Amino acid sequence: MAADPAKIVLPIERDTFEWSFLNNVLLQSALQSFSGQITYHLPSHKLLQLAKTTSLSLRLKNSRVPVRGPTVFTDGSGKTGKAIVTWKDESGWQVLEGHVSGSAQLIELKAVAMAFQRFSQVPLNLVTDSAYVADITKRLDCSLLKEVDNADLFQLLRALWCAIQTRVHPYYILHIWSHTSLPGFIMEGDARADMLANPAWVAPQPDKIAQAKASHDFFHQSAHTLQKQFELTLTEARDIVSSCADCHRLAASLPA
């Protein structure tokens, strides 16, 4: 008949076993009726002995201070779907443009992912006016990624997370307020990224019909004159004249 051993020697430290026992139901079930002795003994390998007195920690890639490397500016617009990365080198301002549909935050995230992929081999200073994106990018250095319901968001988060995890060089994230008139290189770069991402302002086109009607209310031109003066069709000009009450009264007072 099988019997439990009198002693079990575990090649781990006591604290490690106790944590595992508290967090593993299968281990608790296996040792439920064990009445023998459990001892803990690390093998005599030098590396394992060194681990007892040495603490290891991850080297953070997210720097708290600017690093020696290019400074890039990112921006995105929900109106145009443009994700912009721009930077200045010896030959002048450069730009990298991508397109994605979605919210402004989603497009800003796309721009930052593009920047990390483009500058993967050098230290990077990244400037963004999105507090949401800046906070996420700072935290992804030492974070695990959990899948979310929004497939587009998860795809961008995964791309950015992978770009950060595979980096060797550090990066620095600077969040600034947009649309300020402060001088300096940082504000110049942010303004340029904003200009490239957002649609150019277009002056409102004049309403020729409204202008022609206002002019006729004062001068009472003929339909042919309105047509030439405001580049209207003859039908549009005649409609303006026929809708004028003063012209109707004048026409009624004239002899047939």
Torsion of CA 127, 133, 137, 139, to 10 degrees: 130
Domain count of the fold of the chain: 3
Q: How far is CA 24 from CA 16, 32, 39, 41, 211, in A?
A: 12, 12, 19, 21, 81
Say if residue 80 is in the same domain as residue 194: yes
Q: How far is CA 235 from the centre of its chain?
A: 52
Task: Tell me which range, 35-39, 75-79, 168-172, 177-181, is most confidently predicted by mean pLDDT.
Answer: 168-172
Calculate mean pLDDT across residues 200-209.
Answer: 63
Q: Which residues contact 60 (CB under 8 A, 6 or more apart)?
A: 141, 142, 170
In the chain, alpha helices (H): 14-23, 25-30, 46-51, 104-118, 131-139, 151-165, 185-197, 208-219, 223-230, 234-242, 245-253
Q: How many CA atoms lie within 13 A of 48 on its CB side?
A: 8
Say if residue 111 is in the same domain as residue 137: yes
Q: What is the predicted pLDDT for the residue at 7? A: 87
Least confident of 16-20, 128-132, 147-151, 176-180: 176-180
pLDDT(94) > 50: yes
pLDDT(254) > 50: no
pLDDT(205) > 70: no
- Indicate the DSSP class of residue 141: G
Say if residue 93 is in the same domain as residue 187: yes
Q: How confident is the model at residue 204 (pLDDT cuts 50, 70, 90)?
A: low
The CATH number of residue 152's host domain is 3.30.420.10
Residue 201 or residue 120, greater confidence? 120
Say if residue 23 is in the same domain as residue 132: no
The whole model's pTM is what? 0.57
pLDDT(85) > 90: yes
Say if residue 108 is in the same domain as residue 183: yes
Q: Which domain holds residue 39?
A: 7-53
Q: What is the predicted pLDDT for the residue at 174? A: 93
Task: With residue 165 as reference, give the H or E element that holds it.
Answer: helix 151-165
Say if residue 78 is in the same domain as residue 178: yes
Q: What is the predicted pLDDT for the residue at 202? A: 47
Q: What is the predicted pLDDT for the residue at 103? A: 86
| Segment 13-69, tens digit of pLDDT | 788 888 888 888 888 888 888 888 888 777 777 776 666 676 666 678 999 999 999
